[in-house]
Amino acid sequence: MSIYKRDLMIYVGISIFSIVLALVFPAYITQIAVMFLMVILAQTWDLQGGQMGYNSLGNIMFFGIGMYVSAIIQIAMLYGWGGVGEYTSASGSIKVEIIKSNYLYGMFIGAFAAGIICVLFAFVFGQIFLLFRGPYFAIGTLGMVLAVAELVSSWEWVGAGGGLSLPVYPAEDPTESGRLYFYCFLAISAICFAFISWVVSTRFGLALNAIRDDEAKAEAMGIRTLRYKVSSWMISAFFLGLAGAIFGNMSNFIEPLEVAFPTITFGVFMVVMALLGGKGTVWGPVVGAVIFHIIKETTWTYMLGYQWVALGLLIIVIVIFFNQGIMGSLAERYPHWFGIKIEEDAEEATS
């Protein structure tokens, strides 16, 4: 069985396990759902950070854009495009009865549109931002998301700083919405995993790695580097957009700085999780996301505010002392688990 098929099967196994877990412990269903969101965040970041060597501090922008796009579309489907402005300025005091099918229809269309529009954003922004390298890309993308968040915060039509509330899913019992969003995140994360791990196993993955290892050499060999860079951003943008759309629905109320473009929370988490699990590997971001999320959920409430400082420290520590992350270190210690063959050969071809 190919490595890819094996990975897929493992992921399916994890998904089934999570479903069982969610059904047995319904109180934790939202937390498990968010865990899958974390996996998406980590994996999409790693596509640029670990596979391609481009340290993006602004991927969270697509999350926020997706969230707003979906929200606006869902509102427009209920009130018409003309009515959006009215709705947002009324700050959620307009309510309408929706039936489940309306809601679901709205959310799926919204989410899909969110994905597509984020892909377009990645394509356009990528033509400029992906020409920046190293520190310029890092600080450029960070500035990019901050600027966009700021602009959205003053855009009246989408509710400006006051935020935007979404139509509510008319659930019969409280656990029903929890289950809906859980399955959504599970599905998106599974598709994301399947797609990204496939893409990395093809020539595309090799090209990204070549760009990471020596971009100038890749160019000198005739590789169309910009094409690959932009494509990888478009892939990440798509899944981030979908995830943002669903998260917006789950949160019900979108606020630009805290919910849609959370640079300091989710934006940083995605970096930490991929680093922790092992950047540049298929399972690294997944493992990192799961472990980080579990530790966070169990310990953070006790840290009285210090968790944010600890987050920064964690990045520093991992980057200096644990650079390979979990999967990277395991691959070094036990290469045969990963299908890597090292040959001990006494004969030297050259000096």
| Residue 258 binds to another protein (criterion: CB under 8 A) | no
Residue of the chain from 202, 265, 299, 329 that contacts another protein (CB under 8 A) = 202
Measured CA to CA, the distance from residue 78 to residue 281 in angstroms comes to 43
Q: What is the full DSSP assignment across 131-193?
A: T--HHHHHHHHHHHHHHHHHHHHT-GGGTGGG-EEPPPP--SSHHHHHHHHHHHHHHHHHHHH
Residue 233 CB, nearest approach to another protein (Å) = 14
Of 32-40, 67-75, 90-98, 306-314, the window that binds another protein (rule: CB under 8 A) is 306-314
In three-state secondary structure terms, 266 is helix
Residue of the chain from 94, 187, 194, 199 that contacts another protein (CB under 8 A) = 199
Binding residues for another protein restricted to 265-294, rule: CB under 8 A: 268, 271, 275, 280
Binding residues for another protein restricted to 43-62, rule: CB under 8 A: 49, 53, 55, 57
Q: What is the full DSSP assignment across 53-74?
A: ----S-THHHHHHHHHHHHHHH
Measured CA to CA, the distance from residue 197 to residue 281 in angstroms comes to 9
CA distances from 258 to 22, 60, 84, 278, 283 (A): 27, 12, 22, 28, 29
Of 81-89, 135-143, 174-182, 246-254, the window that binds another protein (rule: CB under 8 A) is 135-143
| Residue 223 binds to another protein (criterion: CB under 8 A) | yes
Residues in contact with another protein, total (CB under 8 A)?
77
| Residue 316 binds to another protein (criterion: CB under 8 A) | yes
| Complex with another protein: residue 104 or 128, whichever CB lies closer | 128
How crowded is residue 154: how many other Cβ atoms within 10 Å of its Cβ? 10
Residue of the chain from 45, 193, 228, 247 that contacts another protein (CB under 8 A) = 228
Of 98-106, 169-177, 245-253, 303-311, the window that binds another protein (rule: CB under 8 A) is 303-311
| Residue 323 binds to another protein (criterion: CB under 8 A) | yes
The answer to whether 277 touches 320, Cβ cutoff 8 Å, is: no
Residue 315 CB, nearest approach to another protein (Å) = 3
Residue of the chain from 85, 102, 150, 234 that contacts another protein (CB under 8 A) = 150
Residue of the chain from 78, 109, 146, 194 that contacts another protein (CB under 8 A) = 146
| Residue 144 binds to another protein (criterion: CB under 8 A) | yes
| Residue 131 binds to another protein (criterion: CB under 8 A) | yes
| Complex with another protein: residue 40 or 207, whichever CB lies closer | 207
Of 20-28, 96-104, 175-183, 341-349, the window that binds another protein (rule: CB under 8 A) is 341-349
| Residue 76 binds to another protein (criterion: CB under 8 A) | no
Rg of the Cα atoms in the chain:
21
Of 9-17, 38-46, 97-105, 316-324, the window that binds another protein (rule: CB under 8 A) is 316-324
| Residue 134 binds to another protein (criterion: CB under 8 A) | yes
Amino acid residing at 340:
I
Residues 6+ apart with CB under 8 A from 62: 118, 121, 122, 236, 237, 240, 241, 244
165 strand-pairing partners: 253
Residues 6+ apart with CB under 8 A from 93: none
